[in-house]
Amino acid sequence: MSNVINLTPKVLIILVLCLCWGQVAEAKPDPGACVEQGALVWNDWTSIDAGGSGMPLGETDRDYVQCKSCHGWDRLGLNGGYARRSRTAEWPNAGLGDSNMVSRDIAPGMGDFYHIRADEVLHTGTGRAFEDGSGSWVELGDDPSPAEIAAHASGYTLGNLHPDFSTTGANAGDIVLTQEQLDCVVAFVNFGDSDPTFYFVRIDTDKNPAEYIINAAARPAVGEAFYENSCRSCHGDPFTDHNGVNGGKPAGGMLAFLRGDGNYSEFVHKARWGIPDTAMTRTAIGSPDSQDMIDVMLYLQELNNANFFSVGGTVTGLEGRGLVLQINAGDDLAVSDNGSFTFPDALADGSPYTVTVKTQPLNPDQVCRVSNDSGTISGADVSDIQVHCSEFWINAGLNDAWYYSMTDGQGFFITVFPVMGSVSLSWFTYDTVRPPADVTAILGDPGHRWLNALGSFHGNQAVLDITIASGGLFDTATEITRVNDGTIILTFTDCRNGTVEYDIPSIGRKGIVPIQRISDDNVVLCETLGDQVVTQQNNITQKADINVAEAEGTPADAIEAPMLVDMNAGLNDAWYNSLTDGQGFFITVFPVMESVSLSWFTYDTVRPPADVTANLGDPGHRWLNALGSYHGNQAMMDITIASGGLFDTATEITRVNDGTIILTFTDCRNGTVEYNIPSIGQSGIVPIQRVSDDNVALCEEFLIQ
């Protein structure tokens, strides 16, 4: 209804409305028969009770000719209950996603403060033809052409336009509003006591579902009596899904209906004025006024608030369209923007809940994952569910050896723990300055340093806390001291490339290191796991039986492990010996080259003298790298000692061979490192196990294949 006219100053109308409300409990204006008919016209002017004579020939979908479809039950357009009403082939909306927003909000009190005229309803010569309602809809396919996109946008707006209700315009000769219907719908819209301001102090459409603040004059005890006297006989207990005179509507029961988005607006219209061509007439309800409505709404709202609680959370990283969340494998929630979300249907106290992603967003294609996804309602709303979306998700296919081509002799070992949702990074590097010439090492280079970092990942990024371990001795049980020293932000753009952004306060250094794989052998695995995440059919990582068994109280050693007959990329992980705290191994299998690398993060065989210090890390830090071919479950590897480097700096590196390692795996959880290092005159066998069993299922899947 266009051509907005302000017939009365806004301030005066607000004042008049407030004065009227102050007396509302004492006297109510009589709506009269015409206003009552106008309310039915607003609902469905084609109905017999509203004075209509059926659907016009030019339209088949009733929603396209109803007043409430574009203006909302509350006449507030996007400012009311229809704030999120979608535009579909079956119905128009209140303007969401449409460039044409003329006169959707026509509520005099809470809205634009004006009274409508009959000519504004008719839209003579300016309204659309009936057949341009549902007939205007153009469906978009998965890969629409520019012409299809343009046609969709044009039809989207056309179907949302006001029909021409005149006898001389686009729908001349078809069924249109009668003069009586026209006069009465104008009288209804202009009837002050039916304005939403008499029902609601505020409708917060930023919340989903919309939050209704009911007028302070409401009396819930009186509202309970109204429900018992006027509603229960047809709708039954408000908690239950009643099927009687009401024909099973609303589905789920009255309280369930009111928990839906924007449904108080629909409720108050139907409960006050009735539903045309049904048993729910205004007379059957008891001809209620606005006071009755706020009383019964507050009564029902308080019932909901006391017994039912909402489930929601926050969406981040969303760029695509079409994201649909689902709760308890039933109710869906379409999400279009980042920010908070709440499922429309609240759950009873004590109810379990599980939130999943039903449909992933497209354009761009993204994968959204849910954390804090399940629990039990415990006397309060749930608002801590986290949904993060990303075009690339960190997965176990990134477990590999990584390096920066400008800093020879340094590198990173990355291990993804998909079940825990965390990532570890170990950086084998050097101190920021070379040790003095008189500082020597029995094993390795006295300048060796290594850092460990651990943290959670979301999408393509992980924020890790750096830990410095010190006090150890080579392959010896000692007491280890750990201190935190800064952060690392690990980001991957794809399965081949990433960045390590570090901030290490102890040395006053910050920087960003671009990283790539030492070999592309495991890129295919990463891409495969990524595809499985996209389709939510990741049969590898979902088969983490060890985690299920441990959750059910079954000890890990009680699970029969299949024999490892051939090394595979599922062994790419962080390994350790439980007797030597603060030391460990990073193993990377290169299946194409049929080789395996091992890096041993350890210490010198003796502690450095007390006067030997380090800018970064522990002066006793040492690391060894070994590489060799594997055959079956065993690999023969040559140890290499690198020396001469500086932290995150391009320097000339010297490498010398220093012994051998025989790496053997009995299964996907256990192995041995048999070493022989001539420079220190030591040999031994170290039993190793995974730091976490997150990637056992991946390894065992390879055995099955």
Q: List, for residues 266-283, the tens digit of each pLDDT value.
A: 999 999 999 999 999 999
Please check the confidence at residue 81 and state whether its pLDDT lies above 70. Answer: yes
Determine phi and psi for 545, rounding to 5 degrees: -60, -30
Residue 112 pLDDT: 52
The neighbour count for residue 560, using CB atoms within 10 Å, is 6
pLDDT value of position 531: 72
One-letter amino acid of 326: Q
Cα separation of 54 and 376, whole Å? 49
How many other CB atoms are found less than 10 A from the CB of residue 434?
16
Nearest to 108 by CA among 216, 17, 214: 17
Q: Is residue 204 part of a domain?
A: no
pLDDT of residue 563: 76
Residue 123 lies inside a defined structural domain of this protein: yes
Q: What pLDDT shows up at residue 142?
A: 79
Give every CB contact of residue 268 below 8 A, 6+ residues apart in sequence.
Answer: 73, 74, 199, 293, 297
pLDDT at 385 over 50: yes
On whether residue 419 sits in a domain, the answer given is yes
Tokens read off for 624: 């060894």
pLDDT band at 551 (very low <50, low <70, confident <90, very high): very low
pLDDT for 28 equals 62
Q: H or E segment at 340?
A: strand 339-342
Query: What DSSP line would sit under 621-675, residue for residue?
Result: EEEEEEEEEEETTEEEEEEEEEE--BTTB----EEEEEEEEEEEESSSSEEEEEE
What is residue 693's three-state secondary structure?
Answer: coil
Q: Is the pLDDT of residue 705 over 90?
A: no
Domain boundary among 163, 198, 233: 198
Residues 113 and 197: their CA atoms lie apart, in Å, by: 11
Terminal Cα-to-Cα distance of the chain (whole angstroms):
66
Residue % of the chain over a pLDDT of 90:
78
Same domain, 469 and 598: yes
Q: What's the domain range around 363? A: 310-390
Beta strands in 460-580 (DSSP E): 461-470, 481-492, 497-504, 509-517, 573-576
pLDDT at 606 over 90: yes
Q: Which token pair is 497? A: 């490339």
For residue 123, give the 3-state DSSP assignment. Answer: coil
* pLDDT value at residue 370: 92
534 is written with which tokens? Answer: 């996209």
In this structure, what DSSP letter does residue 608 have?
P
The secondary structure of the chain in percent helix, strand, coil, rounded to multiples of 5, reads: 25, 30, 45
Reading phi first (left if > 0) and then psi (alpha if -120 to 50, else beta), residue 120 is in alpha
Helix ranges, 281-394 (H): 282-285, 290-307
- Which of 399, 74, 398, 336 lies closest to 208, judged by CA? 336
Least confident of 15-24, 415-424, 476-485: 15-24
- pLDDT at 554 (0 to 100): 41
Residues 642 and 564 reside in one and the same domain: yes
Name the residue among 298, 315, 423 with its Cα closest to residue 366. 315
pLDDT at res. 248: 87
pLDDT digits (tens, 9 = 90+) for 194-249: 889 999 999 999 888 899 999 999 999 999 999 999 999 999 999 999 888 888 89
- Does 565 score more than 90 pLDDT? no
Q: What is the DSSP letter of 194?
A: G
Q: State the pLDDT confidence band at 704, using cuts at 50, 70 and 90.
A: confident
Q: How confident is the model at residue 109 (pLDDT cuts 50, 70, 90)?
A: low
Rounded Cα distance between 492 and 163, Å, is: 53
State which of 277, 309, 341 marks the end of a domain. Answer: 309
Q: Could you tell me if 686 and 651 lie in one domain?
A: yes
Instruction: Answer for the pair 290, 198: CB distance below 8 angstroms, yes or no.
Output: yes
Cis ω on the peptide bond leading into residue 436 (within 30° of 0)?
Answer: no
Q: Which of 97-106, 259-268, 482-491 has the lowest mean pLDDT?
A: 97-106
The rounded mean pLDDT for the chain is 89
Half-sphere exposure of 680 (CA within 13 A, CB side): 23
| Residue 610 covered by a domain | yes
Share of the chain above pLDDT 70, in %: 90
Q: What is the pLDDT of residue 116?
A: 87
Structural domain includes residue 462: yes
Nearest Cα residue to 298 out of 270, 342, 267, 274: 267
Whether residues 46 and 189 share a domain: the answer is: yes
Strands 311-316 and 382-390: parallel
DSSP secondary structure string for all residues of 3-21: S----S-HHHHHHHHHHHH
Which pLDDT value is given to residue 115? 81
Q: Which of 168, 198, 228 is the last residue of a domain?
A: 198
Residue 21 has pLDDT above 70, yes or no: no
Question: Is residue 183 a part of any domain in this protein?
Answer: yes
Q: Give CA–CA dist 690/400, Å, rounded.
A: 15
630 and 533 within one domain: yes
Q: What is the pLDDT of residues 662-677, one digit of tens each?
A: 999 999 999 999 999 9
d(CA 575, CA 669): 9
Is residue 203 situated within a structural domain? Answer: no
On whether both 228 and 360 belong to a single domain, the answer is no
pLDDT band, residue 134 (cuts 50/70/90) = very high
What pLDDT, on the 0 to 100 scale, is given for residue 538? 33
Give domain status of residue 522, yes or no.
Answer: yes
> Taking residues 410-415, what's their average pLDDT?
97
**Are residues 514 and 435 both part of a single domain?**
yes
For residues 371 and 305, state if they share a domain: no
Spacing of C-alpha 67 from chain mean position: 35
Instruction: Output the six-digit token pair for 564.
Output: 């490892």
Same domain? 340 vs 424: no
Q: What is the mean pLDDT of residues 346-371?
A: 91
The answer on pLDDT for 555 being more than 80 is: no
Among 33-42, 95-104, 464-473, 566-575, the least confident range: 95-104
For residues 186 and 45, state if they share a domain: yes
Q: Are residues 503 and 420 in the same domain?
A: yes
Helix (H, G, I), strand (E, B) or coil at 276: coil
Number of domains in the chain: 4
pLDDT of residue 192: 83
Q: Do 699 and 586 share a structural domain?
A: yes
Q: How large is the average pLDDT for residues 295-302? A: 97
Most confident among 204-218, 360-374, 636-650 (mean pLDDT): 636-650
**Weakest-pLDDT range from 43-52, 97-106, 484-493:** 97-106
Show Cβ contacts of residue 374 under 8 Å, excluding neighbours closer than 6 positions.
352, 353, 354, 355
CATH number at residue 374: 2.60.40
Collect all residues with Cβ–Cβ distance below 8 Å to 192 and sequence separation of at least 6: 17, 20, 29, 108, 109, 198
